[in-house]
Amino acid sequence: MFRKSALIVAHPDDEVLWFSSILDKVDEVVICFLECRSKSRLSLGRKNSLERHPMGNICSLAIEESEAKSANWENPKQSRFGIAMTRKSHLLKRRYNRKYEKNYYELRKGLEGKLSGYDNVFTHNPWGEYGNAEHIQIYRVLKELQGKKGFDLWFSNYCSPLSFKLMLDNISGFDSEYLTLKTNKAMAEEIKGLYEKNGCWTWYSDWVWFNEECFKKDIPGGNGKYGHTFPLNMIKAPGRPFLLKRVYNIIRRNGQP
């Protein structure tokens, strides 16, 4: 699975948050988004961090992120561009949503050239780990390119109450082929420290890594209408206990134990 392999992530710090177990095993790491228009300090910190990043196999497409955040997680719908955005929103959100759709084509153009000759590609899962629209978009672009390039596509096993329903929608029809690996906590902490020093660590400051993480092989076509459960690294959503009740109801409706 690591022969001629690449890791494609959305933002700086995603590579250690969700992929620390394979970061030093793949041939190349590609970070898609770099600039954030509303956060100039964050953008500068990201540039400085990548210049000093300890991984010698890392590069960036330097695309400006969309900052789109108006998905309906109560009833999530997938689209060609990633996840469908609500149109009943204020002007700024509509601008972000248009940028989200434009980024799809920029990503496809940039990644198509990058992935020539690769046999295995690792990336975000179809529900965006904790429910990140740009993570979902990266997956959708790579899913389209998989049909053209013929590489094996692998995605992460992180999930949260917010993204749980979309996860259930996506595992149906998948064959259960996956691999579990130990996270590299020492390396992850080192890179986290670099991002923190440059003011661009976007996750929780007291985050503790799971002991293991799992990668699911995305097999086109699947095995019909039934899906197989695979290990999930569930992330608690601080301050949002109502989501846990919603997850319980979703599981009960879907007949899960």
Write out the chain's pLDDT in tens, 257 residues. 899 999 999 999 999 999 999 999 999 999 999 999 889 999 999 999 999 999 999 999 999 999 887 788 889 999 999 999 876 556 666 777 889 999 999 999 999 999 999 999 999 999 999 999 999 999 999 999 999 999 999 999 999 999 999 998 887 666 678 899 999 999 999 999 999 999 999 999 999 999 999 999 987 655 555 656 688 999 986 544 444 445 555 555 555 44
Helix (H, G, I), strand (E, B) or coil at 241: helix
Q: Residue written as tokens 């496809």?
A: 108
What is the distance between the alpha carbons of residues 192 and 186, in angstroms, rounded to a whole number? 10
Report yes or no: 64 and 31 within 8 Å, Cβ to Cβ: no
Instruction: Give the residue extent of every domain in the chain.
Output: 5-253
Report yes or no: 48 and 41 within 8 Å, Cβ to Cβ: no
Q: How far are the Cα atoms of 68, 118, 193 from residue 157, in angstroms, in the given order?
A: 23, 22, 24
How large is the angle between the packed helices 241-253 and 164-171, nearest 10 degrees? 30
Taken in order 144, 155, 106, 113, the sign of the CA dihedral is negative
Residue 52, Cβ density class (10 Å: 0-12 exposed, 13-18 middle, ≥19 buried): exposed
pLDDT of residue 240: 44
Report yes or no: 63 and 103 within 8 Å, Cβ to Cβ: yes
According to DSSP, the residues that pair with 100 across neighbouring strands are none
| Matching CATH number, 5-253, of 3.20.20, 1.10.3470, 3.30.160, 3.40.50 | 3.40.50
